[in-house]
């Protein structure tokens, strides 16, 4: 049996798009599942659209995702070169072979000796190929016009070059988007013209947006480039996990897999031909799952650049550790750290009516006033000393459990639930904590008086 060889062949016209990243991933997973090779080659013949960073950015993004290639433009290999512009002589040679055999003809430019070469489409012929996702597909030659294989400038067209490259690079399987289905008959013609063996094709489902329309680069409502997710502090393992679920499904209901898991379980029988919905909420959920697995040191490495970029003063390493302990369960991606930092330390302390209603269910006045007194008398050394102080206030006011912690949490954070209360108070600092408690007492006193005057009404 032939060694499995797959490829990802991008044009260097921009950065790595979600759809192209999925193509690369599925080719990589299939090759590695079968102990085969995964190759990258660059289709750079569209010179007017090529950009300087097109190759390096795509390779960097693929590497960031954890996708490794066995041959490619940066590392070489036995089937190079891996740039189409460096293979022009080969395309020209095989185009002229078809010309000599009468399977193609010259198409002269008007008023010039320059000519392109057109492939002569056979008459009354069926072109059939097996698609591992869609089954047997059939096209009639009468539906395809004679088409250019080599332009008058000596550069091949896509459908000709891709066959030459795949054949000589011994590509066995080609997984690509379904928009390439209509290209395949032309490619089959070339394979048959040279009496070459066809690779196995698999045309993956379209990726659609929330309106169930094909995901377009012009769709400004969806973040579509891998570099953008990297810049926002998404995790590469999460992106790979999410991409794997766009057109492929595991055999059970589990949906969280790392790259090694995916290589083991990847099965083409589980590939779908139905459109795949790019769900940003699901991507955030998957990323959040991976975020929760990070250690504090890993989370620090991820979030520190965003804190520094926002010019947030990192008081100490312990302070940062405590901040991350407080905010860790809220983060769905790294850049959110600044949003939650500002919400947590917002000087415009907010107590909405729902929260005030919660507070009024408790005997809070003595409790909060006693807390003010103790906080004024004691330094904020660490979360343990603050926790001891809260317990002491509870003993003095005969409060414990919810009746102790809920009013204090509301008065200091403006919320009814959250992470460690002593750590939250430590991070807020004495000045902010005292200010918020005083403001809460004042707001609650006014709300209580209003309720006394209008007992049949709620604050909300």
What are the residue numbers of the active site? 217
In whole angstroms, what is the distance from residue 398 CA to residue 181 CA? 75
Cβ pair 28, 198 in contact under 8 A: no
**For 339, how many CA atoms within 13 A lie in the half-sphere containing its CB?**
9
In sequence order, which residues have a C-beta less than 8 Å from that of residue 274 and are 6 or more positions away?
A: 205
In whole angstroms, what is the distance from residue 9 CA to residue 38 CA? 11
Q: Is 317 helix (H, G, I), strand (E, B) or coil?
A: helix
Helix axes 54-65, 236-244, angle to 10 degrees: 90
Strand partners, 200: 173
Give the residue among 173, 226, 179, 167 at the shortest CA–CA distance from 201: 173
Distances (CA, A) of 324 to 98, 201, 316, 340, 411: 66, 48, 12, 10, 22
Phi (first) and psi of residue 371, to 5 degrees: -65, -40
DSSP letters along 356-394, please?
Answer: HHHHTTS-HHHHHHHHHHHHHHS----HHHHHHHHHHHH
Give the residue among 336, 309, 311 at the shortest CA–CA distance from 232: 336
End-to-end CA distance of the chain: 72
Sheet with 126-131: strands ordered across: 135-140, 126-131, 200-204, 173-177
Distances (CA, A) of 197 to 9, 200, 202: 20, 10, 16
In whole angstroms, what is the distance from residue 179 CA to residue 165 CA? 20
């Amino acid at each position: 049996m032939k060694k499995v060889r797959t490829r990802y062949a991008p044009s260097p016209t921009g950065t790595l798009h979600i759809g192209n990243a999925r193509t690369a991933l599925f080719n990589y997973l299939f090759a590695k599942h079968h102990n085969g090779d995964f190759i990258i080659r660059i289709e750079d013949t569209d010179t007017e659209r090529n950009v300087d960073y097109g190759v390096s950015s795509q390779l960097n993004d693929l590497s960031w995702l954890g996708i490794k290639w066995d041959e490619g433009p940066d590392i070489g290999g036995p089937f190079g070169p891996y740039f189409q512009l460096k293979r022009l002589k080969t395309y020209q040679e095989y185009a002229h072979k078809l010309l000599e055999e009468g399977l193609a003809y010259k198409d002269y430019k008007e008023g010039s000796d320059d000519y392109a070469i057109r492939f002569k489409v056979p008459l009354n012929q069926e072109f059939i190929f097996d698609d591992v996702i869609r089954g047997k597909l059939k096209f009639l030659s009468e539906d395809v016009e004679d088409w250019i294989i080599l332009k008058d400038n000596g550069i091949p067209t896509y459908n000709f070059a891709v066959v030459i490259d795949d054949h000589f690079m011994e590509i066995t399987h080609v997984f690509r988007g379904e928009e390439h289905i209509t290209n395949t008959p032309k490619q089959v013609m070339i394979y048959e013209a040279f009496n070459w063996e066809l690779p196995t094709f698999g045309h993956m489902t379209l990726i659609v947006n929330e309106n169930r329309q094909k995901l377009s680069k012009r769709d400004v409502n969806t973040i579509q480039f891998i570099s953008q997710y990297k810049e926002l502090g998404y995790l590469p393992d999460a992106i790979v996990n999410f991409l794997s679920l766009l057109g492929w499904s595991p055999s059970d209901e589990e949906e969280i897999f790392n790259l090694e898991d995916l290589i083991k379980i990847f099965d083409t029988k589980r590939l779908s031909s139905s459109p795949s919905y790019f769900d940003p909420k699901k991507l955030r959920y998957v990323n959040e799952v991976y975020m929760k697995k990070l250690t504090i040191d890993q989370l620090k490495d991820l979030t520190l650049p965003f804190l520094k970029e926002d010019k947030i003063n990192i008081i100490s390493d312990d302070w940062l550790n405590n901040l991350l302990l407080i905010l860790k369960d809220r983060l769905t991606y790294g850049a959110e750290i600044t949003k939650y930092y500002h919400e947590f330390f917002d000087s415009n302390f907010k107590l909405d009516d729902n929260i005030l209603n919660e507070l009024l269910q408790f005997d809070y006045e003595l409790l909060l006033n006693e807390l003010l007194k103790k906080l004024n008398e004691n330094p904020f050394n660490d979360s343990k000393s603050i926790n001891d102080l809260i317990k002491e206030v509870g003993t003095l006011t005969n409060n414990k459990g919810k009746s102790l912690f809920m009013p204090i949490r509301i008065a200091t954070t403006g919320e009814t639930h959250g992470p460690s209360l002593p750590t939250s108070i430590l991070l807020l600092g004495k000045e902010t904590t005292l200010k918020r408690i005083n403001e809460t007492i004042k707001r609650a006193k006014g709300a209580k008086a209003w309720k006394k005057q209008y007992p049949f009404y709620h604050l909300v």
